[in-house]
Structure 1
Amino acid sequence: MRIELLLKRFASTVATLIGVLQFASCPVNLCAQATVALPRTDFDDPTATVDRFIDAKLTADERALAKRSDDAEFCRRVWLDLAGVAPPIWELREFLADRDVEKRTRLIDRLIASPRFASHMATRFTHSILPSDSEAIRGNDSDELREWLRRAFVENKPYDHMVGAFLTAGGATDSGPAIFYTSRDADPVKVAAATSRLFLGIRIDCAQCHDHPFADWTQDDFWSFAAFFSQLQVDSQNGSSATAIEDRIGKELTYPESDRIAEPRYLGVDEIPEPDPGNLRRRQLTIWLASRSNPYFARAAVNRVWAHLFGRGIINPIDELDSMSLATHPELLEYLSEYFTQTRFDLTKLYRVIAKTNAYQRTSQTESSRPAIDSYALMLPKTLSAEQYFDTIAQNVIRQRFDGSIESERGEQLRRLFVQRMRNSGATPLEYPHGVVQALGMMNGPEMMSATANENGLLASIEAPFYDDSQRIEALFLACVSRKPTSEEAQRFTDYLNDASIEATRQERLGDLVWVLANSAECFSCP
């Protein structure tokens, strides 16, 4: 009876998650946009301006707005998005009890200024920058990159400086930005494709062998852009086994099966670039990248930040930025891009502006039919990354941290194995990417055994005699799904704890309830 009950509940929660997320992955209607009155594009109150862009489009399309999220929903969302982990129980209790009308703004500011923000951003950027199969092969190198990025976010390094560090990286190949090249074998073709996709939001690799079938990019465009990386080479240092990234002046790139030399040229620019004093082509490209004559750099960064917080970009997919016709709110994208440029590419300011909008703070719940996913009439639930899920369970249930300040080798190894098993690099945040094998591994894996054990952690702490059953159940909900239980949920959990017909000890039943919540749709999602 016990196993049957648990499996029935698990099947129900997985079906719920799949149903909730399926609406977000349906095809988008890309018909012509309605013309809306544009708000004044000043930067005195950019958060209000962003909301005016969104609301003007909703009004023009006669769409109803979802209500504001409640405090528990917002707190879970902003912690997961900005800190990479659900709120600790005590933080959540304090936030729910706080009656200050400015508490959401204060929480956003505090999280962005916290070390957790830097660590979470470093993890996200590492996943984006490295090829999908490289981290398993180059575990130590990816750690070096993640640590370099973490320090950059702690220092609030401007985004153009950060990208410039990658494009002009040299020296030891096992240090920070140089891994951008060594993970792609310092191949100009691979590096050019990655640079255009990551930092310009354009996928030009389809034009490598022939003109792009769906965009205006030609084969000449691809090879002229790749020529900026023609000087790349990896050399040994002083005859040792250590290697370094260097530029060899005079080294050229030729078209495939041809002796024709590819001359460097910026994407979308017909003129030949101004010569670099030292003839360093990567430096030449870096200077142009963040200049006002490049229409893609700021847009690409803004679109990625928007996709992080909302689950999809203003242009979606985020690497099709050359197709402005795909933008759901083109004026909004241009406004935020200009704001980002005016703030000298300050990512923290961009995150603050967007996170404080009414659009970001709307609920993801609705009792009626869901509006189009590109309307922002309500929030879209996002699937947690493997790191977000593991760190939440480790922090709130197992009560152990594995976020860089490693407390045990076994704990860190558990985290690595879990991330490798559960991460799906091809999935979007609006998709549930895990199959049966991953789900079974989740249900029966070592991390779940640790979470449901009673020796330590949450289960041991709520066994204290001054807790009653209602307080124990509330603590389980706060830990796993960041909210208090409904009266119906509380009653069902209480009935299970006190059902004498179930052949299990009381401690085992509490572990069962953790198992049910930790495997629920809510625990796997950011509302």
Structure 2
Amino acid sequence: MRRTALFLFALTAAHGAEPKLKLNYLQAAPGDFVLSGKWASQRIVVTGKASDGTLHDLTGQARFQSSNAKIATVNPGGLVTSVADGEANIEIKAAGKKQKLHVTVKDSRVQRAAFLTEVWPLLGKLGCSTAACHGAARGKGGLRLSLFGGDPGADFEALTKAAGGRRINRADPPDSLLYLKATGRLDHPGTLPAPRESGILLAWLKAGAPWAAGDNAHITALNLYPDDRVFRKGDAQHLLVTAVFSDGQVRDVSNDAAYHASDPRIASVTPDGLVKAEASGVAAIVVTYQRQSTVLRLAIPYPGPKPFPELAANNRVDELVYAKLKAMGVPPSPLASDEVFLRRVYLDVIGLLPTAEEARAFLAKPDRARLIDSLLARDEFNDFWSLKWGDLLRIKSEYPVRVWPKAVAVYYQWVHDSLAANKPYDQFVRELLTSTGSNFRVGPANFVRAVPAKDARTLGETAALVFMGERIGCARCHAHPLESWSLDDDLALGAFFARVNYKGTQEWKEEIVYPDFRQSLRDPRTRTVVEARLPGAAAPSKIGAEEDPRGQFAEWLTAPGNPYFARNIANRVWFWLLGRGIVNEPDDVRPTNPPVNPELLAYLEGELASHRFDLRHLYRLILNSRTYQLSSEPNQWNAGDAALFSHYPVKRLAAEQMLDAISQFTETNERFRSIIPEPYSNWPATYRATQISDGNTECSFLDLFGRPPRDTPYEQERNNDPTLKQALYFLNSEQLEGKVSGSPHLKRVLAKPDAEVVDDIYLSSVSRFPTPDEKKRLVEYLGARKSARAQAVQDVAWALLNAKEFEFNH
């Protein structure tokens, strides 16, 4: 079980000399406790509540003393260890306050050591199972462990039985090769264990290297203290990690857990769990133990303006975003101008620039809500978002998915028709997951065809990535370093697709997707049949002998309250419109990658579910928010913010948007074709790049500007980062020169006066009128070149096409 602990690091005082704390009281965690066994220890975390209500970690300043060192000792850092059975008190003094904890020690001579509960976590703590050590694909030094400890059973076999069991000397445990190398008695690179860790390893060997203790207890929860604290930059916090086991045992595992900082520039953490707020921003600390995780969200506010400005909100989205911004001391930028908003919303909603006529009409009578509604109703919306879904669903012909062009056309048309009908998203997904029939006639049946390998596990992993945002595919080869997905989970999910089969027909390349009730998925390790089990479920699903298991998975996934479904698509839509997910990356939604604004994401999930999964409702909600409509120009307070949505992120136009923008401005066309085996596919000359159905369509421009290959559903396949080659294209490309010099648009405007020419070029390219200074200079430029006016107009157009204002959506 995993929990998310919230750390709100707030700026509570100006930096400078620390005043002496005046405490109201002192609190010591975990309170009275029990130490059981020779290796037991307990970390004490001391917290002081100041007179102003703020809480402070005083562990490093506190003084500790045991009332009976013959029973339990305590070191200066507050770590209590057992000595002998009995009872004692730990006295704590800090900032003029005192506290006392009672400790009971029992079974102090029992050297409990089993692989599953003591040795396996030790391997992870010492780094033995990392890719740089024995977790490498081929292992190291003849010993191969599962990466990140994802398969403890295999690791146990590797240590105790592999290579003829030569790593363990059962007759003389201290002479075991494993012990000699681990403790440095034989040459061995890597981290040497501390005396306690060496003692655990030796005790395990002396006990016969058992897999588990007699009670076979397993971990059921991982808890974290503290779970709510107000901090400022530069402050530190000791963490207390407690594991709860199935037999009721509670154990301090702070020294055995592993700690990971998502952004060490903002918040760092030491190997023993000391967190320090390094700089303003948001980050997370992930704590793992025995493949269980808990997360601390850290928010370290900026030194924002005092008082914080009052903010107007268009809707609930703004209220939630602004609440976070206020807590972080980050005032948002002002609203974008009507000109900027016009161009932005056109590009984000339909992928196209507004025409000069559309720009004039809106700027003469701006109505943002009305414009948003009109764009959502246009057929170009369906074209543009079919392109987005084409990336996710891998709609392309042949390599590597080997879908024939006819199937691609049917698949794309189904997506386009579904968007045009505003089909509820849950229905859309159920059809993709469960459809059967000809892939030439049933569009959604291609979801289980458009994969590089048509095996059950690949289908399960693809469904999880697209519709849950979970990268469970990592578990096929290795464990996730921070998540608990395992090979068993990957197999259990794949089992829902085990009965999917394919058969050909008399029509070349056509395939029928159908449920084959004779098929099953087998565990590659044991060759036993894998039972289908839903993510997070304790028991397998009951699948009928003649039932297609995909139906059960689809019903579970799209059911109201599913923890993945609405969350994933709400986050994706936010990412598509705002350039960054509330969970970032958008296809890496997991407990150990928490949302920057969980309340916002929960609200969007709820809105989507309560409106019957109407995605247009979600678009409308976000687009009408002031958050979406903020200027992209940062102010002095939010220039360093990239995650809180205090200003609109500048985005380079996607490849298809860029080509369509150039073609629309110049009123020229592109010819698209695909030479996937005959008959070749040719698109009409009037087709835009955002209308292309097949990801394998030839176009060197789209390749240059980073269109995705559609080999996988990862959002990162699309690359919108500017490159030198792209800059050179705008400077000296023969293709672009041909579009400009042959532009019907630029030839037509020659009949207009110079001032109107300049207005037209600006409105058609950057969706605004030129500033008075821009207009004055360009009119003078054109006026001085009457004999070569056509070339001068082209020069003005070329300059605008090379401007960042044209190439970026801002």
The residue correspondences of 1:321-340 to structure 2 (distance < 5 A) are: 321-323=589-591, 325-340=593-608
Q: Which of 256, 261, 271 is the equivalent residue of 2:529?
A: 261
Contact 2:464-2:472 at 8 Å conserved across structures: yes
In percent, how many aligned pairs have the same letter?
Answer: 28
Partner of 1:523: helix, strand, or coil? Answer: helix
Report what 1:299 is aligned to.
Answer: 567
- Specify the alignment match of 2:749 in structure 1: 462
Scaled by the length of structure 1, the TM-score of the pair is 0.83
1:177 to 444, 456, 463: 444
1:518 aligns with 2:785: no
* Post-superposition offset of 1:290: 0.6
Q: Residue 644 of structure 2: which of 375, 384, 394 is its match?
A: 375
Q: Which amino acid aligns with 2:774?
A: E
Aligned to 1:105: 369
| TM-aligned CA deviation for residue 411 of structure 1 | 7.8
Q: Which residue of 2 aligns with 1:119?
A: 383
Residues 364-443 of structure 1: pairs in structure 2 closer than 5 A:
364-366=632-634, 368=636, 370-398=639-667, 407-408=684-685, 416-425=699-708, 432-443=720-731
How far apart are residue 137 of structure 1 and its match?
A: 8.0
What letter is aligned with 1:130?
R
Call closer, same or farther: CA 1:138–1:397 in 2, change over 3 Å: farther
The superposition leaves residues 292-325 of structure 1 with CA deviations (integer Å, 9 ceiling, x where unpaired) of 3520000001000000110011000012211265
Q: CA deviation at 1:278?
A: 4.1
Aligned to 1:487: 772
Q: Distance in 1 between matches of 2:667 and 2:468?
A: 41
Indicate the residue corresponding to 1:453 in structure 2.
Answer: 741
Equivalent residue for 1:43?
none
2:456 corresponds, among 162, 165, 188, to: 188
**Higher deviation after alignment, 304-313 or 163-172:** 163-172
Give how far 1:58 is off.
Answer: 1.1
Deviation string, structure 1 residues 64-105 (Cα, Å, up to 9, x no partner)? 121111111111111111111111111111000005xxx100
Whether the 8 Å contact between 1:76 and 1:87 is mirrored in structure 2 is: yes
Q: Which residue of 1 aligns with 2:8?
A: none
CA distance in 2, matches of 1:142, 1:157: 20
In the TM superposition, residue 516 of structure 1 has moved relative to its aligned partner by 2.2
Q: Write out aligned runs for 1:27-106 (5 A).
A: 29-31=282-284, 32-33=297-298, 48-98=315-365, 103-106=367-370
Q: 1:174 to 1:437 in 2, by over 3 A?
A: farther
- Give the SS at the match of 2:503: strand
The answer to whether the 8 A contact 1:402-1:411 is kept is no
Name the SS of the counterpart of 1:378 in structure 2: coil
Paired residue total: 485
Matched residue of 1:69: which SS? coil
Match of 1:356 in 2: 624
Matched, 1:152 2:424: no
- 1:477 match: 762
Structure 1, unpaired ranges of 5+: 1-25, 37-45
Q: Distance in 2 between matches of 1:321 and 1:195?
A: 14
* Cα deviations by residue, 1:25-56 (Å, 9 ceiling, x for unpaired): x99741535599xxxxxxxxx96111111111
CA pair 508-97 structure 1, distance change in 2 beyond 3 A: same
Q: Name the aligned partner's letter for residue 523 of structure 1.
A: F
Name the SS for the 1:505 alignment partner: helix
Residue 230 of structure 1 deviates from its aligned partner by: 1.1
Q: CA 1:60/1:462 → structure 2, altered by over 3 Å: closer, same or farther?
A: same
In the alignment, the residues of structure 2 paired with residue 278 and residue 410 of structure 1 have an alpha-carbon distance, to the nearest angstrom, of 46
Are the equivalent residues in 2 in contact too, given 1:76–1:482 (CA < 8 A)?
A: yes
Counterparts of 1:511 and 1:187 in 2: how far apart (Å)? 55
Residue 350 of structure 1 and its aligned partner are, at CA, apart by 0.8
Which stretch has the larger CA shift, 231-240 or 426-435? 426-435
3-state SS of 1:244 partner: strand
Asked whether the equivalents of residues 382 and 431 of structure 1 are also in contact (C-alpha less than 8 Å), the reply is no
CA gap of 1:393–1:136, structure 2 versus 1, over 3 A, is farther
Q: Is the 8 A contact 1:424 1:433 kept in 2?
A: no
Q: Distance in 2 between matches of 1:348 and 1:139?
A: 30
Q: Could you tell me the TM-score, scaled by structure 2's length?
A: 0.55
Q: Deviations over 1:120-163 (max 9, x none)?
A: 11111101111897599866544433222111011110101111
Instruction: Tell whether the 8 Å contact from 1:300 to 1:321 is kept in structure 2 after alignment.
Output: yes
Taking the aligned partners of 1:191 and 1:215, their CA distance within structure 2 comes to: 21
1:17 corresponds in structure 2 to: none
CA distance in 1, matches of 2:544, 2:794: 65
Residue 457 of structure 1: CA displacement? 2.4
Q: Quick one: distance in 2 between partners of 1:220 and 1:106? A: 51
Q: Are the equivalent residues in 1 in contact too, given 2:705–2:720 (CA < 8 A)?
A: no
Are the aligned partners of 1:382 and 1:430 in contact in 2 as well (CA < 8 Å)?
Answer: no
Higher-Rg member (1/2): 2
Question: Are the counterparts in 2 of residues 290 and 297 from structure 1 also a CA contact under 8 Å?
Answer: yes
1:303–1:318 CA contact under 8 A, matched in 2: yes
Amino acid corresponding to residue 525 of structure 1 in structure 2: F
Equivalent residues in 2 for 1:215-226, closer than 5 Å? 215-226=483-494
Deviates more, 1:474-483 or 1:167-176: 167-176
| Aligned alpha-carbon RMSD (Å) | 3.3
Are the equivalent residues in 2 in contact too, given 1:255–1:262 (CA < 8 A)? yes
Instruction: Identify if the C-alpha distance between structure 1 residues 210 and 415 changes in structure 2 by more than 3 Å, giving closer, same or farther.
Output: closer
Amino acid at match of 1:489: E
What amino acid maps onto 1:289 in structure 2?
L
Contact 1:53 1:332 survives alignment (8 Å): yes
- In structure 1, the partner of 2:792 is 509
Q: Which amino acid aligns with 2:795?
A: D
Shift of 1:524: 1.7
Q: How many angstroms does 1:441 deviate by?
A: 3.9
Deviations 1:336-365, CA, capped at 9 Å, x for gaps: 111111111110111111110110111112
SS where residue 628 of structure 2 aligns? coil
Shift of 1:326: 2.4
Query: 1-side partners of 2:778 and 2:627: how far apart?
Result: 35
Partner residue, 1:204 = 472
The match for 2:517 is: 249
Q: Contact between 1:311 and 1:429, CA under 8 Å: does it hold in 2?
A: no
Higher helix share: 1
Q: Return the structure number with greater relative CO, CA threshold 8 A, min gap 6.
A: 1
Write the deviation string for residues 217-271 of structure 1: whole angstroms up to 9, x where unpaired. 1111111101111112220125865321122113111223541222111112223
SS in 2 for 1:30: strand
CA shift at 1:429, angstroms?
Answer: 11
